[in-house]
Structure 1
Amino acid sequence: MKAGQLKYFLAAIISVVTWGFFSIPLRKIQHYPSDEILYYRIFTSLIFTWSFIALFRVKQVKSDLDFFYSLDKNGRKRIIILCLLSGVLISGNWFTYIYAVNNVNLKSAAFAYMVCPLITAFAGFLILKERLSILKLIALGIASVSILILAQGSLRDVLWSVFVAALYSFFLIVQKVMSRIDKFNMLGLQLFIAAVLMFPFFIYSFRSFPLDTYFWIDIVIIAIFFTIIPLFLSLYALIGMPSSTLGIIIYLNPIVAFAVAFFYFHEGISVHQLYAYSLLLAAVIVFNWTTIKEIFFKIPAPEFPEITH
């Protein structure tokens, strides 16, 4: 593994595993409307993020502004469009995921993050020209078999999952393109855009201000531990790894979420589901085998032929 690459790999794993436990605080406030949870999640995350930026990251903000104004007109326009697009994509992903957890079922939400890595890996290959080795293609094939096994249930759940996954997959692709801007500042900008986008809907659907202390405790937990920290770590990981690699590591999310559904919420499990999730774990290991071998065995793994286009 290249010097310093381990920190990006660990950042990706921590962010994905953290999101796997997101259903726990989310289910505790499931009696609140999904849109209301989303609004307060975004607004609270925005306050914490920009407070931190204002106190500790003014120098990085100035550096990013200098970079932005150093670009020509087309470059600045491109950055603005990509920032707006990323805000729309992440807002849409958050809302659809919350809706799936609280109004469809937890497994359909987890299934979304099984489809997401495939979309991300292939989008990275086609759009960003990222290379895929034969071993990685084998891993994608294993994951595809797992998804086909789990897709034999409700077509509605599968279509909903694909929609949730596509939003996050293209969000990752956009982040990879905007690699020059500081990732924490980018997170703050995305939250600001998301807040601006959601504010008209918030005003239109406003019912009453929640006074439940437990609701706000949950929202603060969601904002800090299930929004700001993991989202920043995922953006940080993209600095040192291809989006396809982060995409496949995302397979740890449904595995953890599935374990939470079974052990914590006591949802049922079938033999074919257990088999499918085992295949998913195998796909993660195969896709990242070179990295895993170098980390744990200190042995450079053999190079496999890469597919380019």
Structure 2
Amino acid sequence: MKKEIQQSESRGKYFLAAFLAPLIWGFMSIAIRWVKNYPAEDILYYRILTALVILWSFILVFRRSVMHTDIIHYRSLQPTEKKRIISLTLLASVLIFGNWFAYIYAVNHVSIQSAAFAYLICPLLTAVSAYILLKEQLSAVKKVALLLAMISVGMLASGSITEVIWSISVGLLYALYLVIQRVAQGFDKLNVLAVQLFICAVFVIPKLIFNQHSIPDSATFWITILVIAVLFTIIPLYMSMYALTKISSTTTGVLLYINPLIAFTLAVIYFKEIVDPHKYIAYAIIALAIILFNWQTVKRLSKK
């Protein structure tokens, strides 16, 4: 019994990290809308470069020993394992780059609801992908929860086909990113994120050089980019990757439902978007599915 309590307590901080990441992301649409008049690619490029400079500066000043440990660990790997790590890191970088662009475009040029719908689909795709690729087990109760979520998604998919396409793109990219992060273990997650940002920057810099857009000179733009880079990129991504060291990608994926629930609420209350009545029922079903899927975990944490 004592051992089980200790395990529950040790997993509690990982579960909290998995919970806080989508909670923070749920409010990201507010910051994205602050720079709505700028091209989506400019917002993405400067977001990546700003996050890259901040994160690498932090690592080089405060975490050089951790970086050195990871370098030694990488050098000790067999050639085949090195190739595997490189391949997974490159693929993860491409997926998160695509996810960021699709999300920014959806928020500013499609609708907030399309971005919320994306992260309703994402947990389903994550859970199914983890079940197929990683052989993560799903209990009967969790399968029922996923079925309820699928019914809700079906209800929400009855709107614009354009919104659905963008939503599926955003959700699929991030679902595959989560699964890869679960597979690629053994390195400090902040260092992994720094390397992924560096790879994304390799895509970005040539585009900026040949980009015909002038460098923004608005203080609002750069303050917003700073907020997006730190509060909505580095912090929640690190939390998500940290959680995946102990929490299954299925559980992490389902907790992502917190993101669209907040985004949907903002779309209605803050951005005044019109919502069809049946969508309220669909989101209520999603809330029930979240509780059902995580019921055992919630009970353990409440006892602790």
Shorter-normalised TM-score: what interval?
over 0.9
Q: Which residue of 144, 147, 152 corresponds with 1:146? A: 152
Q: CA deviation at 1:10?
A: 0.8
Q: CA deviation at 1:156?
A: 2.1
Question: How far apart, in 2, do the equivalents of 1:64 and 1:246 lie?
Answer: 25
Structure 2 match to 1:271: 277
Question: How far apart, in 2, do the equivalents of 1:200 and 1:21 lie?
Answer: 31
Q: Which residue of 233, 236, 261 corresponds with 1:230? A: 236
Describe the SS at the equivalent of 1:239: coil
Within 5 A, what are the aligned runs for 1:66-145?
Answer: 66-145=72-151
Q: Deviations over 1:260-284 (max 9, x none)?
A: 1111112223321111111111111
Taking a change above 3 Å as real, the CA distance of residues 297 and 272 of structure 1, as seen in their structure-2 partners, is farther
Question: How far apart, in 2, do the equivalents of 1:25 and 1:267 lie?
Answer: 17
Within 5 A, what are the aligned runs for 1:240-255?
Answer: 240-255=246-261
Instruction: Please tell me whether residue 180 in structure 1 is matched to residue 186 in structure 2.
Output: yes
Instruction: Please tell me whether residue 256 in structure 1 is matched to residue 262 in structure 2.
Output: yes
**Counterpart code for 2:282:** A
Q: Between the two proteins, what is the percent identity of the paired residues? A: 47
Give 5+ residue unaligned stretches, structure 2.
Answer: 1-6
Structure-1-length-normalised TM-score = 0.94
Q: Which residue of 279, 294, 297 corresponds with 1:291? A: 297
Structure 1 match to 2:208: 202
Instruction: Please tell me whether residue 158 in structure 1 is matched to residue 173 in structure 2.
Output: no
Q: CA deviation at 1:296?
A: 1.8
Q: CA deviation at 1:238?
A: 0.4
Describe the SS at the equivalent of 1:240: coil
Aligned length: 298
Q: Which runs of 4+ in 1 moved over 3 A?
A: none
Structure 2 match to 1:301: none
Q: Which residue of 16, 19, 31 corresponds with 1:10? A: 16
Q: CA deviation at 1:159?
A: 1.7
Structure 1 match to 2:226: 220
Q: Deviations over 1:79-129 (max 9, x none)?
A: 111111111010000001001111111111111101100110011011111
Counterpart contact for 2:8–2:301, Cα < 8 Å: no
Structure 1 match to 2:286: 280
Taking a change above 3 Å as real, the CA distance of residues 297 and 268 of structure 1, as seen in their structure-2 partners, is farther
**Counterpart code for 1:254:** P
Question: How far apart, in 1, do the equivalents of 2:132 and 2:121 lie?
Answer: 17
Q: CA deviation at 1:157?
A: 1.4
Cα RMSD, aligned residues only: 1.0
**Counterpart code for 2:51:** S
Structure-2-length-normalised TM-score = 0.96
**Counterpart code for 1:2:** S
